[in-house]
Amino acid sequence: MTEHYQHRARKRFGQNFLHDAGVIDRILRSIHAKPEDRLLEIGPGQGALTQGLLGSGAQLDVVELDKDLIPILNQQFAGKSNFNLHQGDALKFDFNSLGAAPNSLRVVGNLPYNISTPLIFHLLHNASLIRDMHFMLQKEVVERMAAGPGGGDWGRLSIMVQYHCRVEHLFNVGPGAFNPPPKVDSAIVRLVPHSVLPHPAKDHKLLERVVREAFNQRRKTLRNTLKLLLSNAEIEAAGVDGSLRPEQLDLAAFVRLADKLSEQAPPTPGAD
């Protein structure tokens, strides 16, 4: 690479570039892309995974925010017929613009830690397009996604991700696999959108609202945290004990609370 195209990781983009060949190979084997696949890579950085993804023969779209990385990526990959580069913010990206068939898009990314949670929520709103997602994330974020009820990791992220997807914590990655090394451990997670939602809510936005309110003060009981939304009698009518704390409830119980709330509220515009 010429000196002109050297690039230093930027703090404001939360960049930590993956360079460990063994880790890169393990991620690529986990994804196991095939020529007929439609891949979307978010934040390709300097192209550590991009090379292997293109080598599968699959059609690959990449979304990169950092303008300084565009010439580096173009220099390496622009000549490949299965490569398509979009400069822009993945948080604002219109996934429908790719023209992918429903349930076909395979999303991959070493996600910057500062946007990982909002970006995953953005992707979940487009879950009908997505076949699966493989992400490198902060290990504690993956643990929260994969958590079950009853522990401190169970919360809004666990519930809303598991509402849409099956979650698999594949393996952990130490700081030394990156340049510069982050101060935390990372992990690879696979998210597979459910073909049929196991606990469909009548109004998805009301479910988000109930979960958000419940966990705003997670040490308090449900009858306290939800008192502006549901009376204790309504909580009990949903088959939930109002004296429990939110972390003690499973996904199905939160859906019942949201459905109880939908009985008294007009439908939310744009509800699923």
pLDDT in tens, 19-33: 899 999 999 999 999
- pLDDT, position 17: 80
pLDDT at 272 over 60: no
**In terms of DSSP H, where are the helices of the chain?**
21-31, 50-55, 70-77, 116-124, 139-146, 156-164, 204-216, 222-225, 232-237, 251-264
Candidate from 33-42, 169-178, 179-188, 263-272 with smallest mean pLDDT: 263-272
User: Dihedral sign, CA of 186, 249, 198, 148?
Assistant: positive
Integer CA distances (angstroms), 194 to 61, 200, 263, in order: 24, 11, 26
Give 99's pLDDT tier (boundaries 50, 70, 90): very high
- pLDDT, position 15: 57
- pLDDT, position 264: 84
- pLDDT, position 11: 45
139 burial (CB, 10 Å; 0-12 / 13-18 / 19+) is: middle
Residue 23 phi/psi, 5-degree rounding, is -70, -45
Using CA atoms, how far apart are residues 49 and 136, in angstroms rounded to an integer? 11
- One-letter amino acid of 165: C
Quick one: which of 66, 104, 61, 67 has its CA closest to 85?
61
Residue whose entry in the numeric block shows the structure tokens 């393990």: 26
Go through the domains of the chain in sequence order and give each one's CATH number.
3-193 (3.40.50.150), 204-264 (1.10.8.100)
Give 236's pLDDT tier (boundaries 50, 70, 90): very high
Mean pLDDT of the chain: 90
Residue whose entry in the numeric block shows the structure tokens 């696999």: 177
Give 12's pLDDT tier (boundaries 50, 70, 90): very low
Give 8's pLDDT tier (boundaries 50, 70, 90): low
Tell me the residue length of the chain: 272
- One-letter amino acid of 61: D
Q: How many CB atoms lie within 10 A of CB 115?
A: 18
Give 194's pLDDT tier (boundaries 50, 70, 90): very high
For residue 185, give both structure tokens: 């451990």
